[in-house]
Amino acid sequence: MAQMTVKMAATKQNIYAVRGNIEMNFIDPGCTEFQFECVSGNVSCVVLSQTCNGQADCSDNSDEQMCDMSDCSSCPDPNNCVTIPGTAKYQCGCERGYVLSEDQTSCVDINECEVMPWVCSQICRNINGSYTCHCVHNFLLSHDNSTCKDRSGVDPVIFFTNRHYVRSLSFDHNEYNIIDDEFEVVVGFDYDYQDKKLYTLDVVSGKLERLNVNGTERETIIDEIPGGEGLAVDWIGRKLYYVAADNDILVVAELDGTYQKTIVSEGLFEPRGVAVHPFRGYNDFL
């Protein structure tokens, strides 16, 4: 009896067409990820868009039998379970403020204060499913429950320098004043919140000076800093920091310029600026 083996891609209905003394070993490729596999019958696969459309595209109607069936009982929150359109699958979800865990077995709280640190202008506190914003002393939370507004009654002012001048500008732009105009090239500038004093560092004269915000009591606290480029005032720790590009150093001193001490002398190349974070005790320089 003759026997022949044929290998070819075929659908299930081809397999059932085997007759006579010929044995055909077919390779069934199965359904793709874009197809639904019928349970039985002479139709093997239908495209996903044809499932749950009210019409039997599988000969056994299996493509229409699971449309209203979603085993949401396995979801941590069955009320937030949805059926994926065009499939017999479902997807678990969580209420607002929560996210599905990696193992898909529970809903965990989202820490909005870490994920979205900008949601509060000052202080953010995470709570289950949400967060709350708070303000520091003398500030009031606005109606948007996010922004803090000053309620101290003090009008904010911007202090700045354009190399030769030190100026002040009110937020409403109604007041624009020259505090002092006898500088050569000011490159370092900072403000002491506690004593209400301005500090300047002139790269040409090398002088580090301070003065009141109205321009009075100007005094030189350090006579000469070779290549002085940047300064910062720690208004909490009551210290003064500056960088000198000529010597590639970072120096700390008292606010009156005394007791200078080099704290960084290696790894710097022409440093240009320095900043402090008084609350955390950090120094940043570039």
* Residue labelled with tokens 């030769």: 164
Q: What pLDDT does 49 receive?
A: 66
- Mean pLDDT, range 196-205, rounded to an integer: 95
CA distances from 114 to 96, 109, 118, 133, 144 (A): 16, 12, 9, 13, 20
Q: Which two three-digit tokens encode residue 280?
A: 């955390």
CA distances from 275 to 151, 204, 284 (A): 28, 21, 5
pLDDT over threshold 80, residue 266: yes
pTM: 0.54
Between residues 217 and 154, which one has the greater pLDDT?
A: 217
Task: Tell whether the torsion through CA atoms of 191, 194, 196 and 197 is positive or negative.
Answer: negative
For 32-73, the pLDDT digits (tens) are 766 777 887 676 788 866 776 778 888 888 777 766 555 677
- CA–CA separation, 33 vs 233, rounded Å? 63
Maximum average pLDDT range among 4-8, 81-85, 103-107, 277-281: 103-107
CA distances from 251 to 104, 260, 276 (A): 54, 7, 13
pLDDT over threshold 60, residue 29: no
- CA–CA separation, 65 vs 46, rounded Å? 14
For 100-159, the pLDDT digits (tens) are 888 878 899 999 999 998 999 999 999 999 999 999 988 999 999 999 998 887 788 999
pLDDT over threshold 60, residue 168: yes
Based on its alpha-carbon atoms, the radius of gyration of the chain, rounded to whole angstroms, reads 37
Q: Are 201 and 230 in contact (CB under 8 A)?
A: yes
pLDDT over threshold 90, residue 10: no
> Which residues, including other chains, have CB under 8 Å from residue 230's CB and lie 6 or more apart?
187, 188, 201, 242, 243, 271, 272, 273, 274, 285
